[in-house]
Amino acid sequence: MLEVKDIEVSYDGITNVVDHVSFSIDRPALVGILGPNGAGKSTLIKGMLKLIPSKGELFFRGQPLKKMQKEVAYVEQKSAIDYTFPITVRECVSLGLYPKLRLMQKLTKKHWQQVDAALEKVKMVEYKNRQIGELSGGQFQRVLIARTLVQEASLIFLDEPFVGIDATSEKIIMDILRSFRDEGKMIMIVHHDLGKVDHYFDEIIMMDKKLIAYGPTKETFVQSNIIGTYGAALGLGVL
């Protein structure tokens, strides 16, 4: 279903920050990308999506990235998005419809109903006319998830979606991500909280610049791989 071949990213042309990472996942899944700070988790996603110069390729359902880009949704770390931008919650969610719209096509009533339905799902409909800068971190993350909902993408990338958000938002987001998986979508999540790995992910990718291990969480999230990824001190403490 998803095949990633030999992703390599280097900023200086000498040292690889992502070093020949390859993996494949053959079922719709919630996939956690795990590793210590500076392991290249976010860079791996950017490299796979060609948001930065990189070598290697990604295939989804047998298609190369270029042929299925409209199927891709990417939610950057919310700290990287301009929180002060003059855009309302409703408009922000409507951006998810843009891949399907023609250049000058206006949003119809039906489109706005779709946007409101997505906001309803993330329990943000009462905030729909607020500017995004007026939201808390968790509320903003829910809005970004609502944007992914209206985009109806099949391959979804989320970079640290649970950082700095409240427990209610985290639960709402996880429920939606699980429903995405149940609809046959693939969701890749950069994640750092090892305490919830078992509970959240069907498959994991463990890396520290190089790939350490990948596969179903139960078989892969084991002490030897944790030590290989994070070092002995952490490895002994987690499990």
Partner 1 sequence: MISNFINGLVDYEFLQNALVTATVIGIVAGVVGCFIILRGMSLMGDAISHAVLPGVAISYILSINFFVGAIVFGLFASIIITFISNNSKIKSDTAIGITFSSFLALGVILIGVANSSTDLFHILFGNVLAVQDFDKWLTIIVSAIVILVVVIFFKPLLLTSFDPNMAKAFGVKVNAYHYLLMALLTVVAVSAMQSVGTILIVAMLITPAATAYLYTKSLSKMIVLSAFLGAFSSIIGLFIGYSFNIAVGSTIVLTSTSIFLISFLVSPKQIHLRKKVLKA
Residues of this chain that interact with partner 1 (CB under 8 A) are 46, 49-51, 66, 69-70, 72-76, 80-82, 85-88, 91-92, 95, 98-99, 101, 103-104, 129-131, 151, 153, 157
Query: Minimum distance from CB of 39 to partner 1 (Å)?
Result: 20
Query: Minimum distance from CB of 152 to partner 1 (Å)?
Result: 12
Distance CA 51, CA 70 (A): 14
Tokens of 233: 């001190």
- Nearest CB to partner 1, comparing residues 82 and 182: 82
Task: Report how far apart, in Å, the C-alpha atoms of 10 and of each of 15, 54, 116, 191 are.
Answer: 6, 7, 42, 22
Q: Which residue has tokens 């429920």?
A: 175
Distance CA 30, CA 124 (A): 24
- Nearest CB to partner 1, comparing residues 14 and 233: 14
Query: Minimum distance from CB of 127 to partner 1 (Å)?
Result: 12
Query: Minimum distance from CB of 225 to partner 1 (Å)?
Result: 29
- Nearest CB to partner 1, comparing residues 77 and 216: 77
- Nearest CB to partner 1, comparing residues 81 and 236: 81
Query: Minimum distance from CB of 196 to partner 1 (Å)?
Result: 26
Query: Minimum distance from CB of 75 to partner 1 (Å)?
Result: 7
- Nearest CB to partner 1, comparing residues 147 and 217: 147
CB atoms under 10 Å from CB of 37, counted, come to: 6
Tokens of 82: 């301009």
CB atoms under 10 Å from CB of 194, counted, come to: 17
- Nearest CB to partner 1, comparing residues 46 and 226: 46
Task: Report how far apart, in Å, the C-alpha atoms of 233 and of each of 149, 223, 226, 230, 238 are.
Answer: 40, 11, 10, 8, 9
36 within 8 A of 208, measured Cβ to Cβ: yes
Task: Report how far apart, in Å, the C-alpha atoms of 6 and of each of 110, 132, 188, 209 are.
Answer: 42, 38, 17, 12
